[in-house]
């Protein structure tokens, strides 16, 4: 085994799927080399090299946004959701983060382990149908495979989606002075899954936030069509991971205020118990949004008018200094927020 | 009214008081040292260094028990494990590299290693078996008290202790006398003082004419203790002040002290990377020879020393960091070749190590002077 910078470079490790530095490196060294494209301004195409939530192709005066996501989670049914709802929300949210809140259609590929209970499969399908209805989306194509016992762990669901937008929103568009909004309480999904996996019997409001955000984001964009400068869903790596990626791609620093971060008491409690900062815990129904200073109030109002955005808050701002870093004002002092690297908890989405 | 430990308004008042007290000292630099991983965690987590006045340096000294465990002590545990003795120890100790690998490496080669949360848990495991079983005991006097209590309570015949316990007050004397440190006052760890009492620092204060302030672990505890310490430095007053009176008394937990000194006696020993510290180690007294692994087994650690440490290990500056004369930022390995997943030095292994803490909180803890957004 050869080790470079703390990573076994000969083999793929769980940390390569954890949404941090190791994962970005794996992707850029393998897939980016294979599928590099011209800059979108020249090619009319946003490809994998952007490493954004999805890719996009220009169609006349609009962009056709495409994305795909494979979902593996243990347990498949968790407080607040299940793998079916997660699979729909994951893809709908990736499209929405690029501005494509009008979903043209989804596909669904399922790989099932022999012996998987039919009743569970039906529950998952019903949950997918309900999530689709919330996002005004439909699965229009699919594929089903069954594998032998232990050849796959329970069930893996891949969803792809296409959507349309007039204005493509990227994760690299932040500018100094922009405000940072999170659309609600942070860390709910990660902490709920962690608690359920560890068998912690805790507060009843510790539930995953998994939800499709197309309608919430549509409202925010309509409130200020040009005011949103960048958007990202803080899944693996949590809000800290999303902020780091946005800051480094945009070439700005981001300063956030601890006291402004919405965190449920139950999440705060589990966080202290297991020693995981809510900033690093995964979310499946939240967005981190960069907004021009003058549009911040209008966008915040629109978000709060939607049930999924009731707890939305302005949590920080972008600065020209210390580009690519995230600074936390703790109320007592200031410190850097580390870039997530490695798996807090593998197989969570 | 409940105690409010995290009140930013009171923190702001204490920050101002700290700035005033530091200015009154009237020197370009005031260097203070704490000797506790939990203090460093709180300072890093709450970003307190950014709130300190520019002239104030708060350095972490040798306050991480995992980090100061010397390589030959790790080697003893690894050698015992290789001899077929089952070893139990605290989690971080498993990953600390010895001369030729860690206990985790020994485990990969077939040795039996149990990670425990307490010495009592180790005794439980030992009771369930007849194989020879050694608890590799690390930690400062706070942890040593637990080891002593368990031995006094009685252990199964297959159980013995490999003591790498260390005693903090003597190392403060060493660090205070190191030419590179220029430490003008010490922040003492509140949890250790709960057992030892604040009086334990009185001889030190007398000998070295340096003030010691006992501090708790909430951000307000630390700020208030620093204000007091800087005031003492400013007045040139060498005294012990207890700023953690809700837990610490002058005498401490006398019962626990009696147990500690019934079982252990201080003996000179090396602290990893720092120095030989007179009275810095805790050895089992002769009356406890029957449960002393060093006297029960022939430990052939020297057999491991044929393997030279890697070139990376030779670049590690853990010792300088723990002595307070360098910071992780001075280390070429920090965050690059040395990360929590593959640590080179013990300071990156333990959650109480300076390097690990700095890495966890962004790597550069000092944001004094960075601009705030409007």
The least confident of B163-172, B219-228, B267-276, B356-365 is B356-365
Cα angle: B24, vertex B28, B29; to 5 degrees: 90
CB contact under 8 Å between A337 and B362, yes or no, is yes
How far apart are alpha carbons A333 and B368 in whole angstroms? Answer: 9
Q: Supply the pLDDT for residue B204.
A: 94
Residue ranges of domains in chain B, CATH in brackets: 4-64+180-242 (3.40.50.11750), 66-168+253-306 (3.40.50.11740), 311-360 (no CATH)
Tokens representing B148 are 């002593």
> Residues of chain B with pLDDT > 90: what percent?
64
Residue B307 has pLDDT above 80, yes or no: no
DSSP string of A181-217, one letter each residue: EE-S-SSHHHHHHHHHHTT----TT--------HHHH
CB contact under 8 Å between A336 and B361, yes or no, is yes
CB contact residues (below 8 A), chain A span 8-27, against chain B: 15
Q: Which residues contact B201 (CB under 8 A, 6 or more apart)?
A: B169, B172, B186, B188, B193, B212, B214, B240
Q: Supply the pLDDT for residue A202.
A: 62
The verdict on B365 touching A (C-beta cutoff 8 Å) is yes
The band of B372, judged by pLDDT with boundaries at 50, 70 and 90, is very low
Q: Which residues contact A218 (CB under 8 A, 6 or more apart)?
A: A96, A101, A102
Using DSSP bridges, classify how beta strands B56-60 and B30-34 pair: parallel, antiparallel or unpaired.
parallel
- CB contacts of B219 in chain A (<8 Å) are 330, 332-333
Using the 8-state DSSP alphabet, how is residue B179 labeled?
T
Nearest CA in chain A to B53: A333
DSSP string of A122-171, one letter each residue: HHHHHHHHHHHHHTT--EEEEEEEEE-BTTBSSEEEEEEEEEEESS---S
CB contact residues (below 8 A), chain A span 255-294, against chain B: 255, 259
Q: Is A60 exposed, middle or buried (0-12, 13-18, 19+ CB in 10 A)?
A: exposed
How far apart are alpha carbons B110 and B102 in whole angstroms? Answer: 13
Q: Which residues contact A279 (CB under 8 A, 6 or more apart)?
A: A186, A187, A238, A239, A240, A261, A328, A337
- CB contacts of A5 in chain B (<8 Å) are 336-337, 339
**Contact predicate A212/A139, CB 8 Å:** no
Distance (Å) of CA A157 to CA A55, A87, A111, B23: 20, 7, 6, 63
Residue B365 has pLDDT above 90, yes or no: no
Query: HEC string of B316-344?
Result: CCHHHHHCCCCCHHHCCCECCCEECCECC
Q: Supply the pLDDT for residue A7.
A: 47
Residue B374 has pLDDT above 50, yes or no: no
Nearest CA in chain A to B45: A335
Tokens representing A226 are 């040009």
The verdict on B341 touching A (C-beta cutoff 8 Å) is yes
Question: pLDDT digits over B234-247, tens only?
Answer: 999 999 999 999 99
Q: Which residues contact B47 (CB under 8 A, 6 or more apart)?
A: A328, A329, A330, A332, A333, A334, A335, B361, B365, B367
CB contact under 8 Å between A6 and B49, yes or no, is no
The verdict on A329 touching B (C-beta cutoff 8 Å) is yes
CB contact under 8 Å between B50 and A259, yes or no, is no
Q: Supply the pLDDT for residue B339.
A: 86
* Best residue in B117, B366, B373 for a mutation probing chain A (most A CBs within 10 Å): B373
Q: How far is B114 from chain A (nearest CA, A)?
A: 20
Tokens representing A9 are 């470079």
Tokens representing B95 are 């990953």
Helices assigned H by DSSP within chain B: 8-25, 37-45, 65-68, 71-82, 103-108, 119-127, 141-153, 168-177, 190-196, 202-208, 219-235, 254-263, 293-296, 311-315, 318-322, 354-360
Residue B1 has pLDDT above 50, yes or no: no
Q: How many CB pairs under 8 A join A and B?
A: 90
How far apart are alpha carbons A83 and A15 in whole angstroms? Answer: 21
Q: Is B267 exposed, middle or buried (0-12, 13-18, 19+ CB in 10 A)?
A: middle
How far apart are alpha carbons B93 and B75 in whole angstroms? Answer: 12
CB contact under 8 Å between A336 and B363, yes or no, is yes
Tokens representing B44 are 């890093």
Cα angle: A88, vertex A298, A90; to 5 degrees: 10
Distance (Å) of CA A136 to CA A103, A233, A285: 7, 19, 16
Strand order in the sheet with A313-319: A228-232, A288-291, A179-182, A313-319, A253-257, A326-329, A334-336
CB contact under 8 Å between B370 and A317, yes or no, is no
Q: How far is A187 from chain B (nearest CA, A)?
A: 18
The verdict on B51 touching A (C-beta cutoff 8 Å) is yes
CB contact under 8 Å between A327 and B359, yes or no, is no
pLDDT tens track, chain A, 349 positions: 455 444 456 788 777 777 677 788 888 888 888 888 777 667 788 988 888 889 999 999 999 999 999 999 988 999 999 999 999 999 999 999 999 999 999 999 999 999 999 999 999 999 999 999 999 999 999 999 999 999 999 999 999 999 999 999 999 999 999 999 999 999 999 999 988 887 766 656 789 999 999 999 999 999 999 999 999 999 988 999 999 999 999 999 999 999 999 999 999 988 887 778 999 999 999 999 999 999 999 999 999 999 999 999 999 999 998 899 999 999 999 999 988 875 555 565 5
Nearest to A349 by CA among A287, A286, A267, A284: A284
The verdict on A7 touching B (C-beta cutoff 8 Å) is yes
Question: pLDDT digits over B7-37, tens only?
Answer: 888 999 999 999 999 999 999 999 999 999 8
Residues in chain A: 349
CB contact residues (below 8 A), chain B span 1-40, against chain A: 6, 8, 11
Using the 8-state DSSP alphabet, how is residue B98 labeled?
B
The least confident of A306-315, B279-288, B310-319 is B310-319
CB contact under 8 Å between A333 and B49, yes or no, is yes
CB contact under 8 Å between B47 and A319, yes or no, is no
CB contact under 8 Å between B341 and A317, yes or no, is no
CB contact under 8 Å between A6 and B48, yes or no, is no
CB contact under 8 Å between A334 and B223, yes or no, is no
- Between B100 and A145, the higher pLDDT residue: A145
Nearest to A204 by CA among A153, A251, A131, A265: A265
Q: Supply the pLDDT for residue A342.
A: 57
Residues paired with residue A145 on neighbouring β-strands, in sequence order: A111
Using the 8-state DSSP alphabet, how is residue A254 labeled?
E
How far apart are alpha carbons B348 and B341 in whole angstroms? Answer: 9
How far apart are alpha carbons B127 and B254 in whole angstroms? Answer: 30
> Which of B51, B337, B361 shows the shortest C-beta gap to A332?
B51
> Which of A15, A319, A337 shows the shortest C-beta gap to B371?
A319
Residues paired with residue B122 on neighbouring β-strands, in sequence order: none
CB contact under 8 Å between A336 and B50, yes or no, is no
Nearest CA in chain A to B348: A6
The verdict on B290 touching A (C-beta cutoff 8 Å) is no
Q: Which residues contact B250 (CB under 8 A, 6 or more apart)?
A: B197, B198, B199, B242
How far apart are alpha carbons A15 and A7 in whole angstroms? Answer: 9
Nearest CA in chain B to A177: B373
CB contact under 8 Å between B51 and A334, yes or no, is yes
Q: How far is A298 from chain B (nearest CA, A)?
A: 19
Tokens representing A249 are 């791609």
The band of B373, judged by pLDDT with boundaries at 50, 70 and 90, is very low
- CB contacts of A318 in chain B (<8 Å) are 373
> Which of A259, A321, A338 shows the shortest C-beta gap to B363?
A338
Nearest CA in chain B to A277: B45
CB contact under 8 Å between B367 and A319, yes or no, is no
How far apart are alpha carbons B333 and B54 in whole angstroms? Answer: 27
Nearest CA in chain A to B10: A332
How far apart are alpha carbons A209 and B127 in whole angstroms? Answer: 46
Place of tokens 């407080």: A79
CB contact under 8 Å between B364 and A336, yes or no, is yes
Nearest CA in chain B to A336: B362
CB contact under 8 Å between B373 and A255, yes or no, is yes
Q: Supply the pLDDT for residue B309.
A: 62
């Amino acid at each position: 085994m050869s080790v470079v910078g703390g990573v076994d470079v000969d083999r793929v490790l769980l940390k390569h799927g954890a949404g941090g530095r190791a994962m970005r490196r794996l992707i850029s060294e393998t897939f980016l080399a294979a599928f590099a494209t011209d800059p979108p301004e020249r090619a009319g195409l946003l490809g994998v090299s952007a490493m954004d939530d999805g890719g996009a192709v220009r169609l006349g005066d609009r962009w056709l946004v495409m994305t795909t996501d494979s979902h593996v989670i243990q347990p498949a049914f968790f407080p607040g959701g299940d793998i079916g709802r997660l699979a729909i929300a994951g893809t709908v949210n990736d499209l929405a983060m690029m501005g494509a809140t009008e979903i043209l259609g989804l596909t669904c590929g399922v790989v099932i382990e022999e012996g998987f209970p039919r009743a569970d499969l039906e529950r998952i399908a019903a949950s997918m149908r309900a999530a689709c209805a919330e996002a005004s989306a439909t699965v229009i194509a699919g594929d089903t495979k069954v594998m032998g016992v232990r050849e796959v762990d329970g069930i893996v669901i891949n969803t792809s989606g296409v959507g349309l937008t007039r204005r493509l929103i990227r994760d690299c568009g932040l500018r100094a002075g922009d405000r940072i909004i999170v659309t609600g309480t942070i860390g709910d999904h990660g902490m709920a899954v962690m608690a359920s996996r560890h068998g912690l019997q805790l507060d009843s409001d510790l539930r995953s936030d998994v939800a499709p955000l197309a309608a919430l984001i549509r409202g925010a964009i309509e409130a200020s069509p040009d005011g949103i400068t960048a958007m990202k869903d803080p899944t693996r790596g949590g809000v800290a991971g999303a902020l780091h990626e946005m800051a480094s791609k945009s070439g700005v620093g981001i300063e956030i205020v601890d006291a402004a971060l919405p965190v449920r008491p139950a999440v705060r409690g589990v966080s202290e118990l297991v020693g995981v900062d809510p900033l690093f815990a995964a979310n499946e129904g939240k967005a981190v949004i960069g907004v021009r200073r003058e549009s911040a109030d209008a966008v915040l109002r629109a978000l709060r008018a939607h049930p999924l955005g009731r707890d939305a808050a302005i949590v920080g701002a972008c600065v020209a200094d210390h580009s690519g870093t995230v600074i936390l004002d703790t109320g007592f002092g200031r410190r850097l927020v580390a870039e997530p690297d490695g798996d807090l908890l593998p197989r969570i989405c | 009214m409940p105690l409010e430990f995290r009140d930013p308004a009171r923190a702001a008042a204490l920050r101002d008081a700290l700035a005033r007290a530091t200015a009154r000292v009237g020197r370009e630099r005031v260097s203070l040292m704490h000797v506790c991983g939990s203090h460093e965690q709180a300072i890093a987590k709450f970003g307190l260094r950014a709130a300190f006045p520019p002239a104030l340096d708060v350095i972490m000294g040798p306050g991480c028990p995992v980090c100061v465990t010397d390589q030959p002590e790790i080697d003893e545990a690894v050698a015992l494990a290789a001899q077929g003795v089952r070893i139990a120890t605290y989690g971080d100790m498993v990953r600390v590299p010895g001369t030729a690998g860690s206990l985790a490496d020994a485990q990969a080669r077939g040795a039996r290693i149990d990670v425990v949360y307490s010495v009592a848990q180790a005794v439980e495991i030992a009771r369930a078996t007849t194989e020879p079983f050694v608890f590799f005991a690390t930690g400062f006097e706070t942890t040593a008290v637990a080891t002593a209590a368990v031995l006094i309570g009685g252990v199964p015949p297959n159980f013995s202790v490999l003591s790498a316990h260390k005693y903090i007050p003597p190392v403060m004397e060493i660090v205070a006398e190191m030419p590179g440190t220029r430490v003008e006052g010490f922040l003492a760890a509140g949890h250790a003082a709960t057992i030892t009492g604040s009086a334990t620092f009185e001889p030190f204060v007398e000998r070295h004419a340096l003030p010691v302030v006992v501090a708790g672990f909430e951000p307000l505890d630390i700020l208030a203790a620093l204000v007091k310490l800087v005031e003492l430095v400013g007045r040139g007053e060498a005294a012990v002040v207890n700023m953690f009176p809700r837990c610490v008394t002058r005498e401490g937990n006398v019962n626990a002290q009696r147990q500690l000194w019934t079982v252990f006696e201080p003996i000179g020993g090396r602290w990893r990377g720092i120095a030989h510290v007179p009275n810095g180690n805790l050895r089992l007294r002769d009356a406890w020879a029957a449960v002393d692994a060093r006297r029960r087994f022939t430990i052939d650690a020297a057999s491991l020393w044929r393997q030279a440490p890697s070139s990376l290990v030779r670049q590690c500056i853990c010792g300088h960091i723990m002595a307070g004369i360098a910071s992780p930022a001075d280390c070429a390995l920090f965050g690059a070749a040395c990360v929590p997943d593959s640590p080179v030095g013990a300071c990156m292994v333990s959650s109480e190590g300076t390097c690990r803490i700095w890495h966890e909180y962004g790597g550069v803890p000092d944001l004094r002077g960075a601009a705030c957004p409007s």
